[in-house]
A and B are shown apart, each in its own frame.
Chain A
């Protein structure tokens, strides 16, 4: 019984730790034209914006750095990406695993975000 409880606690903890890496506000550096893209990740939802203007809302799951989500664009198509954290977890980029929404895949593949303190 104690073992089951321990494993359960560890499982919950691992999910919590995984999600905690992502939760918060992340932003790109300004592009050549000065545009800044950002995402606010909450527990299971996210809001994307450009130049402080929200443009996408969605729900996500993060499991072992595999980020699966649906948003209000792309006709409800699901996207699955590997999140690669770098610079001591301060920055991240997305590597597509599957996403049939081409515009989104092109956009996300180019995106590098840094954690806002």
Chain B
């Protein structure tokens, strides 16, 4: 009997050991990426993480015109949402990164953001017992730049949203999911407003670079895409951002110059009225749209319907 009990206990111990071993091994690339995304270990003075500027409660965007990095240094452009990025074909307002992995490392090195040379960042991760173990578990290697980028990018690819009232209307065929204002707004967005010429696709961007007229080389000096491509004709072009959750990612545009969606819609309705001396504004915006007050409100209602349900509290607060 004693031998029988001992055998059972032995088997039980082996099972527990195996289970705990399996559990330890189960850390995923995405989970590691999430830890890194929220950890200020990747900034010079240990004060800034990716999430400091990509705030989860605001669809992983920031609420300020431009974000502040280490030592409160001001960034140059508005922080875009880090959600719904898995289908994008370029990253940053000027498209200087071709994939999420390339994008993921840039803010760490950027002197205005986290200001930490990559070798120093990797040194910190190697000296950190937890990260050393996690990189070994996930990638079977010590922390490297490639694996750091892969982990953060993998986490960012999990940040997809597809449960907004608009999705419920169009994907789930629930015509009561949105109001008539939203339906009219969507028709205007696709028609008179000409918005789908650039904001077309499952995330409402066709991934192109456009000059909407926020560059005049005077008080609006950021020439955007041309700084990367070196092409004169790209001056003033910026990547068309996606619009999912746009109601909670104010302020808007690459320079955060518009505080509300109404201001954005007013601008598109008559860009020349807001920025009269723009250089090479896209011909799509050559003539005023002539939207009525009600039409503008309908377009705004449609844009608000793109807010994922997880953010509805934030959306109502705004």
Where the two chains meet, the residues of A that have a C-beta atom closer than 8 Å to any C-beta of B are: 33, 35, 40, 47, 49-57, 72-73, 75
Contact = CB atoms under 8 A, between A and B. Distances in A.
Given A52-B171, A57-B170, A73 B202 contact: no
Given A49-B202, A73-B196, A73-B200, A54 B190 contact: no
B145 interface: no
A55 B204 CA distance: 7
A75 B197 contact: yes
Interface of B: 86-87, 160, 162, 166-167, 170-171, 173, 186, 190-191, 196-197, 200-203, 244
Contacts of B170: 47, 49, 54, 57
B171 A53 contact: yes
A75 B86 CA distance: 26
Nearest to A49: B171
A52 B87 contact: no
11 contacts: A47-B170, A49-B202, A50-B202, A51-B87, A51-B162, A52-B167, A54-B170, A54-B171, A72-B190, A72-B200, A73-B196
B173 A51 contact: no
A53 B167 contact: yes
A115 to B, nearest CB: 16
Main DSSP-derived SS at the B contact region: loop
Given A53-B162, A53-B203, A47 B171 contact: yes
B173 A40 contact: yes
Contacts of A52: 162, 167, 171
B160 A72 contact: no
Given A51-B160, A52-B162, 19 more contacts: A35-B87, A40-B173, A49-B171, A49-B202, A50-B87, A50-B201, A51-B87, A52-B167, A53-B171, A54-B166, A54-B167, A54-B171, A54-B202, A55-B200, A55-B201, A55-B202, A56-B200, A72-B191, A75-B197
Contacts of B87: 35, 50-51
A51 B85 CA distance: 13
Point out which of A40, A47, A54, A73 has the most chain B C-beta atoms below 10 A from its C-beta. Answer: A54
Contacts of A35: 87
